[in-house]
A and B are shown apart, each in its own frame.
Chain A
Amino acid sequence: GAVVSQHPSWVICKSGTSVKIECRSLDFQATTMFWYRQFPKQSLMLMATSNEGSKATYEQGVEKDKFLINHASLTLSTLTVTSAHPEDSSFYICSARVPSGRGYEQYFGPGTRLTVT
């Protein structure tokens, strides 16, 4: 199957600083990538849909000025958490969608654990 990587796998930052998380599709091109947030013992919540070359589409309740998404190439999408606060501490997971004969398939990255102190 297709491989999606994320970097870093974990990061600790101080309150008020910004953190960038990278999501890469390693062996395929992805015109569409998704960013999810997951709190402990909870499900994945979609934050935004990232389309290569255009603005991201944010889900209701997600602040687009706080969670900046850039999908500059077909293999890279970045999520920047600006002015991070402790409540932004979470597990952030990206995924990439790949067209297939059965419609499309969605592959997930390994996640990035963000801790804001």
Chain B
Amino acid sequence: GESVGLHLPTLSVQEGDNSIINCAYSNSASDYFIWYKQESGKGPQFIIDIRSNMDKRQGQRVTVLLNKTVKHLSLQIAATQPGDSAVYFCAENERRYSTLTFGKGTMLLVSP
């Protein structure tokens, strides 16, 4: 199930389940979106990205969906594994500017 902690919402799933992590972004002018995975004590690691001219993009075991109408981004992880346990951040960017804006993050806990 999903719970909201003091700062970081947490999604707990069983190994083998599919996980869906959601993100609401704020800037309607954003045209580039990225999902990052951050393990404890490490820097963010690129997972998948999508441009605003697309609404879906698939990678290996991961799919990103973009709904520009409601400014919503989701990351789907198929057959979640314990190694997927981490904090996942979405990030948005408006191409005119050089900086990424990160979302609050979701902690994914995968139990065997």
Interface of A is mostly: strand
A93 adjacent to B6 (CB under 8 Å): no
B43, B51, B100, B104: the one within 8 Å of A110 (CB): B43
Once A and B bind, how many residue pairs between them come within 8 Å at the CB atom? 53
A 93-107 contacts with B by CB, 8 A: 93, 95, 97, 102-103, 105-107
B44 adjacent to A103 (CB under 8 Å): no
B32, B46, B98, B105: the one within 8 Å of A107 (CB): B46
Contact status of A44 and B98, CB under 8 A, knowing A93-B44, A111-B43:
no
B45 at the interface (CB under 8 A from A): yes
CA distance A1 to B46 in the complex (A): 10
Closest to B8 in A: A41
Chain B contacts for A113, CB-based, 8 A:
41
Chain B contacts for A32, CB-based, 8 A:
98
Interface residue range, chain B: 20 to 34
CA distance A4 to B42 in the complex (A): 12
A34 at the interface (CB under 8 A from B): yes
Chain A contacts for B105, CB-based, 8 A:
42-43
B 73-112 contacts with A by CB, 8 A: 89, 95, 98-105
B59 at the interface (CB under 8 A from A): no
B44 adjacent to A44 (CB under 8 Å): yes
